[in-house]
Structure 1
């Protein structure tokens, strides 16, 4: 039951404008390490983004750029099972930041607790991080990158407990999903497994036409 949860915040609508990253590591079913980073995105901050996460240009002044921080981040992700809530967003931020910095992709598999929650908690009116966290009684200061990563990790642990699974990849498979992957040169998204095709049996009892 080992995995790493991540959450990015961005300075503006560009996916390459990461300004904060939270990382929560789970080992043996328990949170064992956490990391929080402010990042200089070297780009503008939009007011709407500041209103969401509260990070301002002065807070990232003098902080490392993504390129400078990557040697610290990469060992925390390489070869791990990585999870994010709405992984399509966080993985795209990671890819765009790597692309802009001219860095190769790491190698890991990843899961999305938003999509797993939609499948497994369909009684909820919404599957946003704060709603699912509230359902499980998980404390959350929403849009703080570390708090969001910790909540994501806690949600996956709850989903695994609910289904009596000890392997995140087996949980995803049991719910009909294929893990996403990042690898040198490309990626594959976390996506639903193709449904098995059913073969129709020919109708029986028909009469043959004589020639």
Structure 2
């Protein structure tokens, strides 16, 4: 199973204020590479966000903007299966950053470990990243972009192992979900089978 796990952190409540991105590449069920970037959002930092992830304005000074970073990111995402915990958040950050930079959406499918964890691990009281990570014994420094991406990757591998599946797409389908997609004209959500979710790019 091959996929890319990602996690964005934002400077404030605006979805186009990405200030960090963690990315973990999994090939044949093994993590083969990890990368993390600080991003200059060119926006204010809210104290609440700083208290969550610890990233301050000085830490992104001189770092690339999303527009400047995109030529590096695009080949890592295009055509891949992208995995995130609460993917609706991370995919919206990606879309808003692309929109703000007037960039074309890449084409890929994506998978949400939060929704799949909620479906499969019904015995848990919560399905937040730290709760599922603790359940599986996965070490985590929560809200560190790289650690969160690494944990999302590990959680998907654990869910596949638990369900005796080797393909995330089949795992989703076996539990009544279809993977989300991003494409040049818009996107579809990771959602229940039969649910209409196509949205056009504004």
Place the TM-score, normalised by the shorter chain, in its bin: over 0.9
Matches within 5 A, 1:54-203: 54-194=54-194
Over residues 85-123 of structure 1, what are the superposed CA-to-partner deviations in whole Å (9 max), with x where a residue is unaligned? Answer: 000000000000000000000000001000000000000
Over residues 122-164 of structure 1, what are the superposed CA-to-partner deviations in whole Å (9 max), with x where a residue is unaligned? Answer: 0000000000000000000000000000000000000000111
Residue ranges of structure 1 left out of the alignment (5+ in a row): 196-211
Distance 2:149 2:75 in 1: 17
1:21 equivalenced with 2:21 (yes/no): yes
Distance 1:173 1:67 in 2: 35
Distance 1:119 1:182 in 2: 23
Distance 2:35 2:75 in 1: 13
Partner of 1:11: 11
SS at match of 2:90: helix
Distance 2:150 2:31 in 1: 8
Distance 1:175 1:41 in 2: 37
Q: How many residues end up aligned between the 2 structures?
A: 195
Cα deviation for residue 194 of structure 1 reads 2.7
Cα deviation for residue 185 of structure 1 reads 1.5
Q: Structure 1 residue runs of 4+, over 4 Å off? A: none
TM-score by length of 1: 0.92
Cα deviation for residue 42 of structure 1 reads 0.2
Give the CA RMSD over aligned residues: 0.7
Distance 2:26 2:169 in 1: 14
Over residues 167-208 of structure 1, what are the superposed CA-to-partner deviations in whole Å (9 max), with x where a residue is unaligned? Answer: 11111111110110000020000001139xxxxxxxxxxxxx
